[in-house]
Structure 1
Amino acid sequence: MNIEYLSEARYSDFIDFCIKYRNEIDDSFLYEEDLKNFQPDEDNPTYIVLNDQSKIIAAVSLIKDSYFRRGKKGRFRIFHSVEPNLNIYKLMLQSIKSHTTEIDQVFLFIQEDNLVVRDIFHFMQFNIERYAYFLTREDMDVAQPNLPNDYSFKNFQFNKDEEVYLYVRNTGFAILRGSETPLTVEEVKNMENKADYLEGGIFLLYHQEKPIGVVRSSRDFYNNESVLNIGPLALIPEYQGKGLGRQLLRKALEFGKNTGLPKAVLSANADNERAVHLYTKEGFKKEESVVCYNYKL
């Protein structure tokens, strides 16, 4: 068994490995659209572990783009061994550490019921940061959004509304674990170029002339089916708890139905009880419970 940095010669083998095993792990960055443009580089250091027959039996790839570096974090695209072998995981972590000089911690998500690998992470001194739910809604028929007087929705426009989006999203998520790092104007502009972008799927909520809320709808894939992904959904703090989040959610679902997508998905921190209650009351069901583990460097 040996470990090596991903080379061009083994690139297609690595992609095949990711596709083969992505259903066993967090696949957030392992869809075809993500892997199509993937290249190992300083923002994506990647190693593969080979057995004596030169077959890939484990792989680790870390995402530390500008957004994650601002938060002093790196997120694993994949950190997986075919066999839950402690020594293999330790070897992969040690190799990736040489690429972490700009960050303070690395993190990943794992299914709550994957007790064998969770034991390995505990032994390696990974810590539980939070729990999260992945929720789905099968029925796209939804009550129409119903805003109070003096409130209105506006379609987000690129090259015009980036600062408004930033103000609402960054203010609303300032203390939300996992989303505290603020976005930049360039990152908002780049949403238009991403594979998951749906034209007309971003809505701003105003109280008179004041921007107070935002919801983004994008294309995702779940169980090999194209679905609507809702998020972020954010309100600035002084407007939370007034039923406006429900209207933002319904606006996104209405858009998804009009777009022809058959199902909606979203994620929520388990300790964000208000949000989880809203989603379940609006017809979402918990499909998965996952644990976010971090490792202090």
Structure 2
Amino acid sequence: MGLGPSPDCTDIRIEPIAAAHIESFHRTLDLVAREKKYLTLLEATPLPQTRDFVMGMIAKGNPQFVALTEDEVVGWCDISRHFFPSNAHRGRLGMGILPAYRGKGLGRKLIDTTLKAAQEAGFLRVELDVYEDNSRAIALYEKVGFVREGIFRRAARIDGRFINAIGMALVFEEDRPA
């Protein structure tokens, strides 16, 4: 992808995902998934399924943003609204960033943008699960207001190793600015 060894994040744009971003998003999702450290997926779903997911997110008005350098997706953050009407005020957050772009504040920009859009779209609660050994992500989530709600023991099994996950949530307060 020609992204270089130590990219400068000043030229990165954060935009709502669009159909034109799907193939690049799919490549980035696959690269992060294949690290086998951060996502439930161990590889991206086939491109047609990824396309259906993204187009569904757009159609439903679910917040999904991508970080772009030139026209390549280098990170994403999305919130999927729960399906059942009694849970429709809740959403599940997912995000990922290519390794070369981590630790530069991009995750904070992505999550802030996505949470603001979620609140504007009427979400009242955003949830996520994070592997307990992902201290960088946990620190980011706590900085933006997520609180730990519980531990999911043996939540994932990757290459024969069990990993616990921490359930976290952010509840938008009535007086919290969007």
Q: Same fold (TM over 0.5)?
A: yes
Which residue does the alignment assign to 1:168? 28
User: SS where residue 30 of structure 2 aligns?
Assistant: helix
Q: Deviations over 1:104-129 (max 9, x none)?
A: xxxxxxxxxxxxxxxxxxxxxxxxxx
Off by >3 Å, runs of 4+ in structure 1: 192-198
**Match status 1:185 vs 2:84:** no
One of 265, 268, 287 as aligned partner of 2:130:
268
Structure 1 residues 283 and 207, CA gap change in structure 2 (3 angstroms):
same
Q: Equivalent residues in 2 for 1:238-277 (5 A)?
A: 238-277=100-139
Look at both structures and tell me which one has the larger radius of gyration over its CA atoms: 1
User: SS where residue 267 of structure 1 aligns?
Assistant: strand
Q: Equivalent residues in 2 for 1:1-297 (5 A)?
A: 149-158=10-19, 160-177=20-37, 178-191=40-53, 198-199=60-61, 201-220=63-82, 224-225=86-87, 226-231=89-94, 233-291=95-153, 292=155
Distance 2:144 2:135 in 1: 14
Which structure would you say has the larger RCO, counting Cα contacts within 8 Å and 6 or more residues apart? 1
Shift of 1:189: 1.8
Q: 1:228–1:261: 8 Å Cα contact kept in structure 2?
A: yes
Shift of 1:228: 2.5
Structure 1 residues 256 and 195, CA gap change in structure 2 (3 angstroms):
closer
Distance 2:117 2:100 in 1: 26
How well do the aligned residues superpose, as a CA RMSD in angstroms? 2.6
- Identity over the aligned pairs, expressed in percent? 21
Q: AA paired with 1:240?
A: R
Structure 1 residues 210 and 196, CA gap change in structure 2 (3 angstroms):
closer
Structure 1 residues 210 and 190, CA gap change in structure 2 (3 angstroms):
closer
Q: 1:196–1:219: 8 Å Cα contact kept in structure 2?
A: no
Distance 2:12 2:51 in 1: 26
Matched length: 145
Distance 1:228 1:204 in 2: 18
Name the TM-score, length of structure 2 as normaliser. 0.70
Structure 1 residues 209 and 181, CA gap change in structure 2 (3 angstroms):
closer
Segments of 5+ residues of structure 1 without an aligned counterpart are: 1-147
